[in-house]
Structure 1
Amino acid sequence: MDPQNNLSAPKPLTGGKFVLGTFAVALATFMNVLDSSIANVAIPTLSGNLGVSVDEGTWVITLFAAANAVSIPLTGWLTQRVGQVRLFVWAILLFVLSSAACGLAPNLPVLLAARIVQGAVAGPLVPLSQALLLASFPKEKSSGALSLWAMTATVGPIAGPALGGWITDSYSWSWIFYINVPVGLFAAGAIWAIYRDRETPARKLPIDKVGLLSLVVWVSSLQIMLDKGKDLDWFNSSVIWVLTIVAAVSFLFFLIWELTEEKPVVDLRLFAGRNFLGGTAAISVAYAIFFANLVVLPQWIQGYLGYRAVDAGLVTAPLGIFSVMLAPVLGKIMPRSDTRVLATFAFLGFAGVFLMRSHYTTNVDVYTLVLPTLLQGIPTALFFTPLTAIILSGLPPEKIPAAAGLSNFARIFAGAVGTSLVSTGWNDRTVLHRARLVEVTSVTNPNFAGAIAGLQSTLDAGAAKATAFFEASLSAQASMLGLNDIFWISAVIFVAIIPLIWLTKPGKGAGAGAAGAGGH
């Protein structure tokens, strides 16, 4: 798939076809990126209905992201093998089918299997939607196509928690997947009707089967190891050891094979470029922290503050306000700015937001919850596009699709890994803080005895009920302190990775022109 070719081959759409085609492609993109976050606030409800822990429920998010990451590098090969429009329509239809399977899932294993399929078929949707949009717009307005795509892709993950919360509270968690069915069928039908006569040629191509297999093995082994580590007590479990060894060996084999293969499934030689290496490392680590916190924050708001799913989603929704407002402004100032400066401001902004959150308490009010989320929209707007411009800058046109796919793979997989690590870190810090708090809750401690007596009087209850209430309060406090640690560490990481940006050279040319290519 080569966006450059798509720009020169078919003529731009006009009139009603232009409006409907652009809307349908944007809708397919929105449906895809929405599913990356719509399940976030539904995890507690979903887990309860399926009879599993919240930790097990987060697999619904991480396995989707991991499968999505694995399939993205195959987009170029599949496009040449099947054809751009046909692949896009088939990917949408399979996404619809797997979404229905998710909603109908009677248990967690079936749901996870459907989510893996859903994530895998979603991989080609991001780069293909961009290519189709670029072909729909006149060449001189290609920046408008990318801006529209970026806005759609940004709003999806932000709207996901609010929409998912409303659906979960008003109907059932299954409907967060069922809504994809009518949306996807409409998008697929409209896209086929409008774009089928603009199909790219298909030809039989060999695929690097060994590279693909080793990619699937190391990504899957690492993801399962990270997800099950906490439940199996990490390296005290032989299962974790086996998964770790398999992941390490298959990853090393993957590196050696791909670097020596003539036509690798993933072109790792791109990392020889300073801008690609530094930019991809920065955007991957940053996205891992960004996405992981989008997952754990709604869980804490529901689990310990008692918010409904829809209210937890609304708390995170203001993130989109400045993101959308500043997107057109960024498009105007980027050509005249050093993208490294913009990305640095973004990372400093994220650090400031997480520092604000690190001071949360168990009786935090709505204003204090919403303000950092609202302000986070500013660095979010300065985050994706400048870093993607850095990643793609200086590359010849024929390398841009492969570079965009590889950086997208690294970023999305980092998001899945980050979610697992942050969830585990939050649990470990909670256990640590609880142990410290329990140390002072001895009957021989006069302060503790006085607190229990005070609760008995306030609650007009016996010692057992007062102690149970105290235990619940202690658990909430430990969880809050653990999450504060996560927020503080997140702020430190954002500052620590700023030097990665300045290892690169100022981005010009290809990177600026394809700034949206990395996706959101």
Structure 2
Amino acid sequence: MSTATTMTPSAAPPAVRGDELDIRKVIGFMAMVFGMFMAILDIQIVSASLAEIQAGLSASSDEIPWVQTAYLIAEVIMIPLSGFLSRMLSTRVLFTISAAGFTAASALAATATNIDQMIVYRAIQGFIGGGMIPSVFAAAYTIFPPSRRAVISPMIGLVATLAPTIGPTVGGYISHAMSWHWLFLINCVPGILVATAVWTLVDFDKPDRSLLRKFDWWGLAGMAAFLGSLEYVLEEGPAHDWLQDQVVFLFAIVMSIGAVLFFWRAFKAEEPIVDLKAFANVNFAFGSLFSFVMGIGLYGLTYLYPIFLGRIRGYDSMMIGEALFVSGLAMFLTAPISGILSRKLDPRIMMAIGFLGFAAGTWRMTYLTADWDFWELLVPQILRGVSMMLCMVPINNIALGTLPPERLKNASGLFNLTRNLGGAVGLAVINTVVTDRNAFHYARLAESVQWGSAEAQTQFQNMTRNFETHGGVDAATAAMSKLSGMVHQQAALLSFMDVFYLITVLFALLAVFTMFIRKPPESAGGGGGH
């Protein structure tokens, strides 16, 4: 009897412990999630306030985009590097350094008195802050057992998609209510709290200092040259006719040399900076592909909507932020639903529904007119927000949920890199299509308003008479100027519609493609938590 009594307690706990959550780990993980939110938010938080920063720093129109570009280039180098650093230093040390460094760089950015200082501080902010993003994904699949991922996966999916979506909204509010300096100062107190919480509460892995002796400096140099130059070419290429520009051409050469060096070291080094073996896992490879396309949709529409509202509707940053808040709200409300569905639906079906919903939203935008306002944009924005959340949860689970623990840290860096590269490639393609199609449509429309067109002459005469009734202006010149403006506006609208059509086709095809991937096992093991 005594034997039975001693055996019963010892047999029961393992099954229970697998599902138990250590409150210390949960609070530490929440601090990490908030740190990731700040790092991703800061990509877009300045996008709606660049005019205010430009005026404050007396920067030129050519210089001010570097406030964003410097951050992106530095971040895209750090994201894949973070996997190696996390193994060498431990998640606790890397994340604490990243959060503290990001906070310090934010404070420095607020003190910038010229554009050169701002670019340097933003680069530091992006590089150090980039270490926080993959660490959260790796921690989620390491700390928590598969049974808890229906709660955790929607949370990190929500942060990864919500932060860049509401970035312009938050930035618009802050710069209007206070000043552009607070776009950076607002990070200081939360950043200190995050660094303190992570240092105190996170301790689920140990450092491997022996990796320092095996650090592949040539691999790092190749990766920095490859990814940094790639980001520059994608950012600057559309505005400078790609390789026709001498600087873009030079960076394209550096990118090619860096790529050769990086991939050579990735396969030859004893401990490569980035372990590409994760791509041998079919689910991870497909998940990364889907993440890449999600980056196109996420960052592409976050760019397109403000451009339309600013250029066509004449909205300022505050009005744009208010108009685009709907997508963020839809994501927030869909997150718990997405978690529930992830336990009941085949992830391939979930992704297909999400991709088709996203395609439906962009298809609606192909009927865009110059009069579209908040209410016309409401349904496309809701479809965008809901679909993003329906896609992100199964994509995260498929990509990272079945990897062994020792692969998670490197793999999470690669996975997050694909989303950022998707955004960079997407923005480059979108800018190129908008520019080329705008010129094409303007040429076609201009032909239809030549003097030989009876309809154009009638329109011109009506507009001239209208201006004559007001007096005090050269009616013919004013009418000609307005007619030219109408042609430019219509050409811009048609180019936007072309981009929305291409995105629609891309996501519709991806929905079909989901049916060709293997269904992951019911109990995706992942990094453990057990």
TM-score class, shorter: 0.7 to 0.9
Query: 1:119-160 CA distances to partner (integer Å, 9 max, x unpaired)?
Result: 211222123345667888799756544444444444323332
Where does residue 189 of structure 2 map in the other structure?
A: 182
The answer as to whether partners of 2:402 and 2:527 remain within 8 angstroms in 1 is: no
Q: Which secondary structure state, in structure 1, belongs to the residue aligned with residue 500 of structure 2?
A: helix
**Aligned partner of 1:475 among 472, 483, 488:** 488
Q: Which residue in 1 is equivalent to 2:342?
A: 334
AA in 1 matched with 2:441: H
Q: 1:237 to 1:489 in 2, by over 3 A?
A: same
Pairing partner for 2:274 from 253, 266, 277: 266
Using the alignment, how far apart are the partners of 2:25 and 2:273 within structure 1? 34
Correspondence for 2:107: 100
| CA-to-aligned-CA distance 1:88-109 (integer Å, 9 cap, x gap) | 2221121122223333334444
Specify the code of the residue in structure 2 equivalent to 1:491: T
Instruction: Measure the CA separation in 2 of the matches of 1:34 and 1:215.
Output: 25
Larger mean Cα displacement after TM superposition, 149-158 or 70-79: 149-158
Structure 2 partner of 1:426: 434
**More displaced 10-residue stretch of structure 1: 86-95 or 44-53:** 44-53
What is the match of residue 5 of structure 1?
A: none
Are 1:203 and 2:186 matched, yes or no?
A: no
Residue number in structure 1 paired with 2:415: 407
How far is the alpha carbon of 1:292 from its aligned partner? 1.6
Q: How big is the shift at 1:268? A: 1.6
Q: Which 10-residue stretch deviates more, 457-466 or 346-355?
A: 457-466
- 1:58 and 1:341, CA in 2 relative to 1: closer, same or farther beyond 3 A? farther
Aligned to 2:11: none
1:79 and 2:92 matched: no
CA contact (8 A) 2:74 2:124 kept: yes
**2:507 maps to what in 1?**
494
Quick check: 1:147–1:331 contact (8 Å CA) kept in 2? yes
Q: Which amino acid aligns with 1:289?
A: G
C-alpha separation between the residues in 2 aligned to 1:198 and 1:341?
A: 34
Letter in 1 for 2:439: V
Report which stretch shifted further, 137-146 or 106-115. Answer: 137-146
Write the mapping of 1:143-158 to structure 2, written as runs, cut at 5 A: 143-158=150-165
Instruction: Give the alignment of 1:343-382 within 5 angstroms.
Output: 343-382=351-390
Distance 1:99 1:494, change over 3 A: same
Per-residue displacement from partner, 1:227-252 (whole Å, max 9, x unpaired)?
22233322333433333233223323
The alpha-carbon deviation at position 341 of structure 1 amounts to: 1.4
TM-score by length of 1: 0.87
Alignment deviations for residues 193-222 of structure 1 (CA, whole Å, 9 cap, x no partner): x32777844524221211111111111222
Whole-angstrom CA distance in 1 between matches of 2:367 and 2:303: 19
User: 1:18 and 1:221, CA in 2 relative to 1: closer, same or farther beyond 3 A?
Assistant: closer
**For the Cα contact (< 8 Å) 1:283–1:387, is it kept in 2?**
yes
1:518 matched to which residue of 2?
none
Look up the match of 1:454: 462
SS across alignment from 1:307 = coil
C-alpha contact 2:235 2:428 (8 A) present in aligned 1: yes
Output one character per residue of 1:172-192: Cα deviation in whole Å (capped at 9) or x when no partner. 333222211222123223443
3-state SS of paired residue (1:101): helix
**Residues 377 and 447 (structure 1), Cα distance of their counterparts in 2 relative to 1, 3 Å cut:** same
Q: Cα distance, 1:317 vs. partner? A: 1.5
Q: CA deviation at 1:512?
A: 7.0
Q: 1:33 aligns with which of 40, 43, 47?
A: 40
Alignment partners' CA distance in 1, 2:86 and 2:344: 35
Structure 2: distance between partners of 1:63 and 1:398: 32
Alpha-carbon contact 2:327-2:381 (below 8 Å) kept: yes
Q: Paired residue for 1:113, among 111, 120, 138? A: 120
Counterpart of 2:223, as a letter, is L
CA contact (8 A) 2:292 2:420 kept: yes
Asked if 1:504 corresponds to 2:517, the answer is: yes
Deviation at 1:511, TM superposition (A): 4.8
CA distance in 2, matches of 1:18, 1:191: 10
Identical amino acids, percent of aligned pairs: 27
Cα distance between partner residues in 2 of 1:89 and 1:153: 20
Greater Rg, structure 1 or structure 2?
2
In the alignment, what sits opposite 1:3?
A: none
Q: Which runs of 5+ in 1 are unaligned?
A: 1-7, 516-520
The CA distance in 2 between the partners of 1:433 and 1:237, in whole Å, is: 25
Contact 1:229 1:240 in 2 (8 A): yes
Structure 1 residue 316 and structure 2 residue 316: aligned? Answer: no
C-alpha separation between the residues in 2 aligned to 1:510 and 1:265? 31
Q: Cα RMSD (Å) of the superposition? A: 3.1
Segments of structure 2 that go 5 or more residues without pairing to the other structure are 1-16
For 1:220-235, list aligned pairs within 5 A: 220-235=228-243
Aligned AA for 2:187?
N
Q: Return closer, same or farther for 1:26/1:244 CA change in 2, 3 Å cut-off.
A: closer
Letter in 2 for 1:248: S
Corresponding letter in the other structure for 2:236: K
1:55 is displaced (CA, Å) by: 7.6
SS at match of 2:44: coil
Deviation at 1:393, TM superposition (A): 4.9
SS in 2 for 1:358: helix
- One-letter amino acid matched to 2:49: A
Q: Is the 8 A contact 2:29 2:202 kept in 1?
A: no
- Does 1:161 find its partner at 2:174? no
Distance 1:78 1:69, change over 3 A: same
> Alpha carbons of 1:53 and 1:452: their partners in 2 closer, same or farther (altered >3 Å)?
farther
Q: Give the distance between the partners of 1:427 and 1:56, measured in 2 at CA.
A: 20
